[in-house]
């Protein structure tokens, strides 16, 4: 499955981890993950979310506040898994299907997917070492790696299913690692996502766009919109949300204190878009 991020040769398992024919060695971490992010693919010394952000996200997600989204992802993929296996190859069984979670974070969505679809081999990558370390330590059944979504360290046509929740990616890389007929499920903010927070931060609120994003190499199949209201009961719950969303950086200390006292109801609004890899001629 893995290929060398330095020379793109296949990576072969050995006693210590993985290596390629050019003798590039990638040791397996004590927690079980691989570090496949070479320095030339980094934009900072420690890219991605910090350990503190990961801890806040894990506490928030494990409290179940985003479980409706996780359930919707699982149900949509569950309903398409058998069909995908037949599309990719008549000899493929669900047990042979592999899924890549791009930007897997601390592993919440990946783990719940692995539980809902035990026939899948679930792989996850994230640019944050802290996130991948936390995911691998708690969920050893996942195959995790520190890696860039713009330089996926996987062989061509490795995956029958791709999942991208919020994470940025390189379209050509998604198409490269997707098997013919593979499915890509993306989760993006719908127009009124976090609307009440935006109204507190900006004088003029811009809603998220509603148009369907094109994914080169894939055809759009269906869209599902999922919305609900998050009503924090405690300041700690809202503070965790602010720590895990990019919008949180726009909240200054004064506004943060106001929000933690008010505990406003906040709309969560998502698009789930399903695409299929265009079959080769």
> For residue 182, what pLDDT band results from cuts at 50, 70 and 90?
very high
Q: Sign of torsion, CA 49 99 31 60?
A: positive
Q: Are 216 and 175 in contact (CB under 8 A)?
A: yes
Q: How many Å apart are CA 125 and CA 104, to the nearest integer?
A: 6
Q: How many Å apart are CA 213 and CA 29, to the nearest integer?
A: 37
Half-sphere exposure of 143 (CA within 13 A, CB side): 12
Distance of CA 161 to the CA centre of its chain: 12
Three-class SS state of 193: coil
Question: Who's near 61: CB < 8 A, 6+ residues apart?
Answer: 106, 108
How high is the pLDDT of residue 95?
44
In the chain, count of helices (H) and strands (E)? 8, 11
Q: How many CB atoms lie within 10 A of CB 247?
A: 16
**% the chain with pLDDT above 90:** 85
Q: Which CATH class is domain 12-277?
A: alpha beta
Q: How many Å apart are CA 49 and CA 104, to the nearest integer?
A: 12
Comparing CA positions, the residue from 236, 77, 49, 224 lying closest to residue 160 is 77
Tens of pLDDT, residue by residue over 141-175, are: 999 999 999 999 999 999 999 999 999 999 999 99
Q: How many Å apart are CA 95 and CA 88, to the nearest integer?
A: 13
How high is the pLDDT of residue 129?
95
256-262's contacts with Cβ under 8 Å and 24+ in sequence apart are 258/200, 259/197, 259/200, 260/235, 261/235
Tens of pLDDT, residue by residue over 198-225, are: 999 999 999 999 999 999 999 999 999 9
Pairing of strands 218-230, 178-189: unpaired
Please report, for the chain, the start and end positions of each structural domain, with discontinuous segments joined by +: 12-277
Q: What is the overall mean pLDDT for the chain?
A: 92
Q: Is the pLDDT of residue 87 over 80?
A: no
Question: Who's near 140: CB < 8 A, 6+ residues apart?
Answer: 31, 32
């Amino acid at each position: 499955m893995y290929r060398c991020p330095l020379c793109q040769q296949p990576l072969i398992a050995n006693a210590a981890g993985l290596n390629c024919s050019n003798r590039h060695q990638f040791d397996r971490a004590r927690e079980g993950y691989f570090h496949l992010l070479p320095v030339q693919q980094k934009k900072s010394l420690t890219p991605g979310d910090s350990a503190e952000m990961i801890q806040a996200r894990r506490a928030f997600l494990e409290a179940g506040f985003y479980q409706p989204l996780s359930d919707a992802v699982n149900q949509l993929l569950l309903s398409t898994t058998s069909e995908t296996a037949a599309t990719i190859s008549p000899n493929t069984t669900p047990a042979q299907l592999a899924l890549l979670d791009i930007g897997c974070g601390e592993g919440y969505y990946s783990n719940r997917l692995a539980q809902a679809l035990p026939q899948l081999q679930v792989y996850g990558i994230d640019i944050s070492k802290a996130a991948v370390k936390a995911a691998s330590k708690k969920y050893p059944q996942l195959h995790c790696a520190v890696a860039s979504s713009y330089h996926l360290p996987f062989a061509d046509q490795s995956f029958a299913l791709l999942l991208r929740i919020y994470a940025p990616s390189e379209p050509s890389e998604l198409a490269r690692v997707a098997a013919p007929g593979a499915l890509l499920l993306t989760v993006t903010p719908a127009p009124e996502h976090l609307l009440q927070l935006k109204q507190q931060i900006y004088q003029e609120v811009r809603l998220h766009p509603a148009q369907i994003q094109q994914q080169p190499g894939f055809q759009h199949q269906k869209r599902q919109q999922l919305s609900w209201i998050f009503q924090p009961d405690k300041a700690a719950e809202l503070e965790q949300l602010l720590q895990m969303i990019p919008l949180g950086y726009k909240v200054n200390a004064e506004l943060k204190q106001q929000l933690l006292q008010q505990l406003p109801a906040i709309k969560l609004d998502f698009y789930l878009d399903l695409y299929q890899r265009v079959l080769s001629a």
